[in-house]
Amino acid sequence: MSGARERTEKAMAAVPAFIEARRSIRAFTSEPVPRALLDSLVEAACLAPAPHHSRPWRWVVIDTDTGRRSLADGMGAQWRIDLAGDGVGPERIDELVESSRTKLTGAPALLLGCLTWDGLDRYPDETRRRAEWGMALLSLGAGVENLMLAAADAGLASCWVAAPIFCPEAARDALDLPQPWSPAALILVGSPAPDYTPRTRPPVPLDELRVNR
Ligand SMILES: Cc1cc2nc3c(=O)[nH]c(=O)nc-3n(C[C@H](O)[C@H](O)[C@H](O)COP(=O)(O)O)c2cc1C
């Protein structure tokens, strides 16, 4: 095999380094992230592919104590109700909710991705309505990955937090957002704490995760 071809095949077999470089980093320094940089992350998110040329996303940039606390407390109140409904004891509830609050209020910036029906197709039946919303949600996920890759490229740490998708109304009301916005993805952003080591990433078991036809 020629050297050039061997190099090309090696390059094709490797995951690009910028994708490998993004890790979920859950600890930050207290250094604020400049708003212009946060805006550039949102812009990267908004370059994601979306169904039929829509942009069904809205982003909330939260970098004030009031904003962080309102969101953490609003979602925490709903989580308490859900955990109690699951039969979790009061002490454990306090522990879980407090730990989540500490995580959210300790991040220099929170970027909250919301979905709207703006630009999406409307269908009279539930099956297609769900598929349409599902497409929008997929595109928000693509946007979040863009955002996190852009953050890693800028030397920032980030971590996706699932909470708002479990309590969209609580998140929306906590931040006084417009009613049609449905919070769905929260990303913590900041400078990485120097002593944080990401969890070991297991190798991808390709033969279990894909088939060829
Ligand atoms: C939809 C979604 C929700 C997630 N929610 C949380 C979360 O609530 N808390 C957390 O610490 N990490 C959360 N993560 C991050 C995952 O744990 C992480 O991506 C996974 O362990 C792989 O590690 P890596 O991102 O470093 O490659 C979430 C990831 C996704 C995609």
Per-run averaged pLDDT (10 residues), the chain, 213 residues: 62 87 96 98 98 96 98 98 98 98 98 97 97 98 98 98 98 98 98 94 96 97
Output DSSP code: residue 54.
-
Amino acid at 149: L
User: Which residue's CA is the closest to the ligand 1 atom numbered 8?
Assistant: 161
Q: How far is the CA of 158 from the centre of ligand 1 (A)?
A: 10
Q: How far apart are CA 146 and CA 144, in angstroms?
A: 5
User: Which residue's CA is the closest to the ligand 1 atom numbered 29?
Assistant: 160
Do 74 and 178 meet the contact criterion of CB atoms below 8 Å apart? no
Closest among 86, 104, 107 to 31, alpha carbons compared:
107
pLDDT value at position 129?
97
CA angle 64, 24, 130 (to 5 degrees): 85
pLDDT value at position 157?
98
Q: How far is the CA of 162 from the centre of ligand 1 (A)?
A: 8
- 4-38: b (≥16 Cβ within 10 Å) or e: eeeeeeeeeeeeeeeeeebbebbbbeeeebeeebb
Sign of CA dihedral 84, 86, 91, 92: negative
160 lines ligand 1 (CB under 6 A): yes
pLDDT value at position 9?
63
**This model's pTM is above 0.85:** yes
pLDDT value at position 13?
78
157 lines ligand 1 (CB under 6 A): no
162 lines ligand 1 (CB under 6 A): yes
pLDDT value at position 187?
98
200 lines ligand 1 (CB under 6 A): no
Q: How far apart are CA 90 and CA 76, in angstroms?
A: 13
Closest among 123, 137, 165 to 48, alpha carbons compared:
137
